[in-house]
Amino acid sequence: MFDSSSSIIVGLEVGTSKVCAVVGDLGDAAALKIVGVGQAPSRGVRKGEIIDTELAEEDIRHAIAEAEQMADVEIRNVYLGVTGGHIRGFNNRGVHPIFSADREISEEDVRDVIKNAKTINLPAQNHAIHAIRQHFLVDEQDDIPNPVGMLGTRLEVDVHVVHGSLNRLQNAIRTVKGLQLEVDDIVFNGLASALALLSNEQKEIGSLVVDLGGGTTEYVAYANGIIKHTGVLAIGGDHVSNDLAYGLKTSLRRAEQYKLEHGAALVEDVITGQTISIPNENGFAPKIINLEHLRRIMNLRLEEVFLLIGQDLEQAGALDDLRAGVFLCGGGARTPNIAKLAEQVLQMPASIGKTNSISGLKSALDQPEFATAIGLVKFGSFEHRKRALKASLTENLKATLSQWFRRA
Amino acid sequence: MTTPSPPIPEAAPARKTVPIKVIGVGGAGVAVLGQLLRSGLAGVGFAAINTDAASLAATTAPEKLHLETRLLRGMGSGGDPDRGRTAAQENVPRLKTLCEGMDVIFIIAGLGGGAGTGISPVVARAAKETGALVIAFVMTPFDCEGARRQRLALQGLSELQAAADGLIRLPNQKVFKLIDENTSALETFRLTNEYVAEGVRSFWRLFTCSGLIDIHFEDLCQLLRDRHLENAFAVAEAAGPARSREVVEKLLAHPMLDAGQMLAEADALMISIMGGPDLTMAEVNRVMEQINRQSERAQVLMGAAIDEAFRDRLAVTVVAARKTLPPGEARFAALPGHQVPDQLLHQAVTGQPGSRFSSRPPSFTAGPGDESPAPRRKTARMLQAQLPLESTSKGRFDKSEPNIHKGEDLDLPTYVRRGIPLN
């Protein structure tokens, strides 16, 4: 099932505006290198969730085929990115008393306490996608990064649990499996983007990653090197286009066009009264669009997105520690002046995120839309290393056992 | 030898003595006054003000003020609020004497005609100047009464909003939802009057009754003052074993609260719970819990009182207040046939799940009296804001579930929800 010999890791993101697959090669030096990218416009996804399985399957097949061609490999397993308005993140605490006579905390105790933290307080229909350990507490002593080997009677762990509706997650997995692809693991998109963009230093100082996608906006906040809060808003670029379609009284397709060609996140004074004249193909009179209206509609919607994120972070108590500021990625990060708007609303420095510590296809790495898929590959590489380690241990064990049996 | 102990202070009286006067202004106001006089309201002063001498002669109010100018000759204002206003302005000192020494003044008026519309703002201002808290209860015309009366009513409304502290308004049109088609016109008017009278009574209870949980007069004043936009109020009653749940259900379906919409949008809520001696704390709790769930961001003032007359019954009165809206929306106020300006844009938002992105049913409330005989100008109210929007594409989100966040559907354009006009 898990091919430990293959060093190819594939991240697949089935997004609302595009499906993209990124192929990474772990190589001998265990340095991750991006060797292939495939993408296709997505037609069967709304607000981050698959609503038309057939169309989605077709689009995924295109993206995978393109990636396979570029990387010259056959793709059989993927790490799947998941998102949707049903996904929530919250901090949970697990407790586990230490039973052993010498009261020494073992690896198993650590696993138990994390399992504990993963399951309590979870709503019935939900499945925990991630349980990210934040820090441990041994007998009330706080902020312990690794308790293994310490003595104590009670082990507690603070975990950040990202959970979502089990049914919806399984929908996504099933769609991918329908294409004869194995899903090695599911990863929350926001987490993946954060993995791709943030350096360890930025995670220490405290940073917020906001992925402005077509159907959803994910955000992840790091402080002191650990995840403090995550969240998803089922609002994205589609909402901006829709707002424009309403406000400018035009079709959705046209609205998207105007958004991409003339849109911006801020309304500057210079453009008051400016209009754009869109020539009509059919020979009718050109359509006049008021530029100020366009910018204002976009500004309001984007401002609201940041406001909602700010409110949620404030409620979770995560807003104050973000000293490195905001890093934007996703298609929405291409909007002119979006970083300035983010700065205004969230009152902290904001910039477009850049993938780091990964080499390979420059064209892919530089674009903010691929941050999530690249992050998925990075996540996959961590998992791969962990499993390779375990695999080698089990290999040794098996070899030893077979030796004994042969002798006997 | 025993040391003299300090005198034990006397227990507070069961009924708070707050000097209140109820003033009925104009024909409709005096009629409502009549109903209150008939049912009785303890410890309250009553006064009637009108330009029409005949109506004053017929009322049993202890104090009467006939506003008279040479023009009017005792025959009323003739449906012209300017005449009513002039008559009132010439008599401001007398109005002030009427309000002297009072802590709270209730003004009752029907807007759209001459006397109520023109005189009540002047009375409100005079009352404020004597230092009282002014709460106005007004009725606005039925749609069938015509555009002119509507316009005058709206003008009067905005004047009152500036002058009074609290404004409770009964759009008569809404009463159609509460009545059956075959009710006589006479009976309908009696019902509208009775509704306003009930409003006055619930406020009176808030101010004077004490019992389980008191609402302090100061808190009430502070809540009402400066909330110059109108308030909505509704009363619901229930009896039987599940009464705490039933009474909230009735409130949430009440047309006066726009089927619970007002609860979600209110900044401040005043809840008065009246029960008999058998009222339990658990029931109070349950009612408050359900209401609080509907209105997360409102400041809630709650009072509960026990009255022997309410044995086996549970009555809840809700007054929902909202702060003034941005000036952009005042545009719609001048258009005829319109009712509440602020409700126009808020109608575009519904808290009900499964709402479609742009198409909206003309009425939210599932009331039995939906088929009203009068011309349905009411739908014009709700559709007016949406007409320019509905003609365009439905948007991508009609197939997906709505994004409800704090009572708003986030799938709707932000600029629409914020009410930012694009000129």
Task: Considering chain A, tell me which residue range(s) the CATH 3.30.1490.110 domain(s) occupy.
Answer: 92-161
Q: B413 in contact with A at a CB cutoff of 8 Å?
A: yes
Amino acid identity of B355? S
Closest residue in A to B387 (Cα–Cα): A246
CA distance B408 to chain A (A): 12
Nearest to A293 among B403, B411, B422 (CB): B422
CATH number of B20-224: 3.40.50.1440
Pairing state between β B231-239 and B313-321: antiparallel
**Chosen from B396, B398, B404 to mutate, greatest number of chain A CBs within 10 A:** B396
Closest to B325 measured CA to CA, from B200, B409, B227, B232: B227
Nearest by Cα to A376 from A168, A191, A131, A132: A191
Q: How far apart are CA B305 and CA B274, in angstroms?
A: 5
Give the residue extent of every domain in chain B.
20-224, 231-321, 327-417
Sorting pLDDT into bands at 50, 70 and 90, what band is A17? very high
In contact, A162 and A230? CB cutoff 8 Å: yes
Count Cβ neighbours within 10 Å for each residue of B105-128 and write b for 16 or more, e otherwise.
bbbbbbbbbbbbbbbbbbbbbbbb
- Residues in chain A with CB shorter than 8 Å from the CB of B328 are none
pLDDT-based confidence at residue A187 (cuts at 50, 70, 90): very high
- Name the closest residue on chain B to residue A233, using Cα atoms: B403
3-state SS class at A347: coil
Least confident range of A291-295, A396-400, B132-136: A396-400
CB contact under 8 A, A246 and B397: no
Question: Three-class SS of residue B105?
Answer: strand
**What's the full length of chain A, in residues?**
408
Output the six-digit token pair for B68. 């008279």
Tell me the C-alpha distance between B316 and B206, whole Å.
11
CB-CB under 8 Å, A85 with B413:
no
Sign of CA dihedral A180, A184, A190, A192: negative
Task: Name the CATH superfamily housing domain A204-355.
Answer: ATPase, nucleotide binding domain (3.30.420.40)
A387: left (phi over 0), alpha (psi -120 to 50) or beta: alpha
Q: Three-state secondary structure along B327-359?
A: HHHHHHHHCCCCCCHHHHHHHCCCCCCCCCCCC
Q: Per-residue pLDDT for B394 more than 80?
A: no
A40-46 average pLDDT score: 91
CB contact under 8 A, A246 and B413: yes
Q: Tell me: the pLDDT tens digits for A309-322?
A: 999 999 888 888 88
Burial class, B420, CB count within 10 angstroms (exposed 0-12 / middle 13-18 / buried 19+): middle
pLDDT of residue B360: 40
Residue among B388, B393, B422 whose CB faces A245 most closely: B393
Contact residues, chain B, for A44 at CB < 8 Å: none
Q: Which of B386, B392, B417 to mutate to test the interface with A (most CBs of A within 10 A)?
A: B392
Q: How far is CA B260 from CA B234, B264, B349, in A?
A: 10, 7, 13
Express each pLDDT in B215-245 by its tens digit: 676 777 776 665 545 577 777 888 888 888 8
For chains A and B, CB pairs below 8 A equal 68
Average pLDDT rounded to a whole number, residues B249-255: 76
* Chain B residues with CB-CB distance to A252 below 8 A: 393, 395-396
- Give the pLDDT confidence of B191-220 residue by residue, as tens digits: 888 888 888 887 777 777 666 676 676 777
CB contact (8 A) between residue A297 and residue B413:
yes
Report the top-level CATH class of A92-161. alpha beta
pLDDT tens digits, A326-361 = 999 999 999 999 999 999 999 999 999 988 767 777
Please check whether residue B224 is in contact with residue B291, taking contact to mean a CB–CB distance below 8 angstroms: no
What CA–CA distances, in Å, run from A235 to A44, A210, B404?
17, 12, 11
Q: Name residues whose C-beta falls within 8 Å of residue B284's C-beta, 6 or more positions apart in sequence.
A: B212, B213, B244, B273, B275, B304
* Structure token digits, residue B85: 């206003």
Nearest by CB to residue B393, choosing from A51, A252, A308, is A252
Interface of B with A in 362-401 (CB under 8 A): 388-389, 391-393, 395-397, 399-400
Band (B186; pLDDT cuts 50, 70, 90): confident
Option in B403, B420, B422 nearest A234 (CB): B403
Instruction: Give the per-residue pLDDT at A327.
Output: 95
pTM (predicted TM-score) = 0.53
What's the CA gap between B21 and B61, in Å, rounded? 11
A64-83 pLDDT tens trace: 999 999 999 999 999 999 99
- Closest chain B C-alpha to A251 CA, distance in angstroms: 6
| Contact (CB, 8 A) for B251 and B260 | yes
- Looking at domain B231-321, its CATH class is alpha beta
Inspect the interface and report whether the beta carbons of B392 and A301 lie closer than 8 Å.
no
For residue B410, the chain A residues in CB contact (below 8 A) are 233-235, 239, 304
Q: Give the Cα separation of A214 and A7 in Å (integer).
A: 31
